[in-house]
Each structure stands twice: as C-alpha cells, then as structure tokens.
C-alpha cells in the first residue's frame, strides 16, 4: 500500500476501548457524593452508539448511581452531588442551561419494577408524546402509540384492548409497556435498571429479545445482576466495584478471559 492511500483512509478511533461504533456518551472523571459518602470515584467511560452496554457489579458498587447520572435522575436526590463531565453527542448534560425535561425525553428509562401509570394502555404511551408535542392530530398520536407498542413487541397482545388499564397486564407485559412508553418519545438512549429482575424466565427472554432488536435504533445501557443476561444481551460490559470501574471491554472478552482478578472473582461467583 502506498503512503497516499494510507493517509486518505479515515483515522482509526483513538481509544483502544472503543468498539466499531462511535461513542454516544462520553463520561470523564465523574464523581458522585451522597452527602459525605463518595459513591462514584473518577469514573470515565465511553458508551458506544446503537449497542448495548451492560453494567455489572455487586450491590452498592455504584452502577445504578452512574446509570442515574446519565439522565440526571440524581438531581432529584437532595444530598446528591455530581462532579465531572458527561457528554451525549458532545453536549454536556450537566450544562446549567440545559433543559432537563428535554434531556429525559432524549434519555428514556426503564426501572426494575414495571411502573405503568394507573391509566389505559393507550394513555400510558400517548402521555409522553402529547406533553412533548410530538403529535399534531389524534391520527398521528394513534400512529405513534401503535409504532411504540410494535417496537416493544406488545402490539399483538394488546391491540384489541388499548382502553384497558395498563396495570391489569402481566408483569412481563407491563415491563414491555414501560419500554413502549420510553420509546414513544423517540429517545436516543434507553437506560434500563435491572429490567428483568421482577420477571419470570419467559418474560425475561422476551425483554432480552426486544433489547436485541432495539439496539438497531437506540443506545442502550443496562444494569443487571444476572451475569448470564449481561453476557447474552450486551456488546460491551463495564464492571463496577466499590465506586470505581475496574474493567471495561467487549462482553465476550470480559466473560471468557477478564484481565482483572476482581472481575474474574466476581463473574465466576467467588465474591459478591
């Protein structure tokens, strides 16, 4: 190969920790304090676009705290202080001029326990797009609701009872309803905090299948206590321990030959 051809090629990504996709979220030296407690220490991490990143680690290691930094959920805790920088598409999300409501429309969240609104299935989905002004007509809103339910693989199960209450669905359906509600406002990032821990294996399998489909269009960050789930659904994994990221890398490598002894001990069930 001659020199000009080499020069003309796009520059390879600088960091060795990067996968094929460019980073969607870049965190630098993030520190979180709950009053005096130093919960996250100098966390720096790149989260690739349109891929699934899993956070694993024992309880209290800071993985959920970090997840909640990404859509500024920690703002709602009075004693919580976040230092450092988190950028989504090069925009600092802790910039004082940033509209937090808009941020949370861009960064959706699904929680451990399904938490549908005590309203109809239709209203659960329509609420977000309506307050964000995403639909100009009833027909458009109907379309958004249908698409969101389809993307969450729930449409066929609920299309004939959209006016039934959302809380009447099974646990797995409720969780998919919550995912549909999250994607109805066309977010770029979906944060999932142990989305399957309250579900049976079949409902869990459906959510995992859904996560795999959603990563075509969304950047997904998932916190899970199930090693197997992290291994199955994610492309990259970060292992948190005592408030620091011990190791991050391609999921395959983390689960076959991790570099750090602490990672190895944790995933193989030697401490936790």
Partner 1 sequence: MAMTDHIVSSFDADLQALGDKLAEMGGLCEKLVGESIEALLRRDIPLAKRVIEWDRSIDRLQHEIEENGILTIAKRAPVAIDLREVVAALRIANDLERIGDLAKNIAKRVVALEGQFQPPKLAGGVAHIADLTLAQLKEVLDAYTQRDERRAMEVWKRDGDIDALYNSLFRELLTYMMEDPRNIGFCAHLLFCAKNIERIGDHATNVAETVYYLVHGEAVTDERPKGDLASAAISLD
Question: Least Å distance between CB 232 and partner 1?
Answer: 11
Please tell me whether residue 201 binds partner 1 under the rule CB under 8 A. Answer: no
> Which pair of tokens denotes residue 213?
């489909």
Neighbour tally for 76: CB within 10 Å: 9
**Binding span for partner 1 by CB under 8 A among 8-16, 66-74, 83-91, 249-257:** 249-257
Please tell me whether residue 27 binds partner 1 under the rule CB under 8 A. Answer: no
Q: Is 239 helix (H, G, I), strand (E, B) or coil?
A: strand
Please tell me whether residue 269 binds partner 1 under the rule CB under 8 A. Answer: yes
> Which pair of tokens denotes residue 57?
């680690």
Query: How many CA atoms, within 13 angstroms, populate the side-chain half-sphere of residue 137?
Result: 3
In terms of Cβ atoms closer than 10 Å to its own Cβ (0-12, 13-18, 19+), residue 14 is exposed
Please tell me whether residue 268 binds partner 1 under the rule CB under 8 A. Answer: yes
**Binding span for partner 1 by CB under 8 A among 32-40, 121-129, 150-158, 251-259:** 251-259
Question: Least Å distance between CB 266 and partner 1?
Answer: 10
Please tell me whether residue 232 binds partner 1 under the rule CB under 8 A. Answer: no
* Pick 182 or 196: Cβ nearer partner 1: 196
Distance CA(47)–CA(51), nearest Å, equals 8
Q: Mask 145-184, x = binds partner 1 (CB under 8 A)?
A: ----------------------------------------
Q: Among 223, 231, 238, 245, indicate the residue that binds partner 1 (CB under 8 A).
A: 231
Please tell me whether residue 255 binds partner 1 under the rule CB under 8 A. Answer: yes
Instruction: For 180-215, give the DSSP string.
Output: HHHHTT--SEEEEESTTTTS-HHHHHHHHHHHHHHT
Q: Which residue has 């994610």 as its token pair?
A: 234
Q: Is 132 helix (H, G, I), strand (E, B) or coil?
A: coil
Residues that bind partner 1 (CB under 8 A): 227-228, 231, 253, 255-258, 261, 263-265, 267-272
């Amino acid at each position: 190969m001659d020199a000009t051809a080499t020069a003309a090629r796009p520059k390879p990504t600088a960091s060795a920790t990067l996968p094929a996709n460019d980073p969607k979220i870049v965190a630098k030296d993030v520190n979180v304090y709950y009053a005096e407690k130093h919960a996250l220490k100098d966390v720096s991490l790149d989260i690739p676009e349109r891929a699934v990143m899993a956070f694993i680690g024992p309880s209290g290691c800071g993985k959920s705290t970090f997840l909640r930094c990404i859509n500024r959920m920690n703002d709602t805790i009075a004693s919580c202080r976040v230092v450092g920088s988190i950028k989504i598409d090069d925009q600092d999300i802790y910039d004082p001029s940033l509209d937090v409501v808009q941020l949370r429309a861009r960064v959706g969240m699904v929680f451990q326990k399904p938490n549908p609104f005590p309203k109809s299935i239709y209203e659960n989905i329509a609420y977000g797009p309506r307050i964000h002004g995403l639909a100009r007509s009833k027909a458009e809103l109907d379309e958004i609701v249908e698409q969101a339910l389809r993307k969450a693989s729930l449409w066929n199960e609920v299309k004939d009872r959209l006016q039934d209450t959302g809380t009447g669905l099974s646990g797995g359906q409720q969780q998919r309803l919550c995912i549909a509600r999250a994607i109805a406002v066309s977010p770029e990032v979906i944060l999932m905090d142990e989305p399957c821990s309250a579900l049976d294996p079949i409902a869990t399998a459906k959510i995992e299948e859904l996560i795999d489909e959603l990563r075509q269009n969304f950047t997904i960050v998932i916190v899970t206590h199930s090693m197997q789930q992290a291994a199955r659904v994610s492309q990259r994994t970060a292992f948190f321990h005592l408030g620091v990221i011990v190791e991050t890398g391609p999921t395959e490598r983390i689960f076959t030959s991790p570099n750090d002894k602490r990672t190895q001990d944790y995933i193989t069930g030697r401490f936790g």
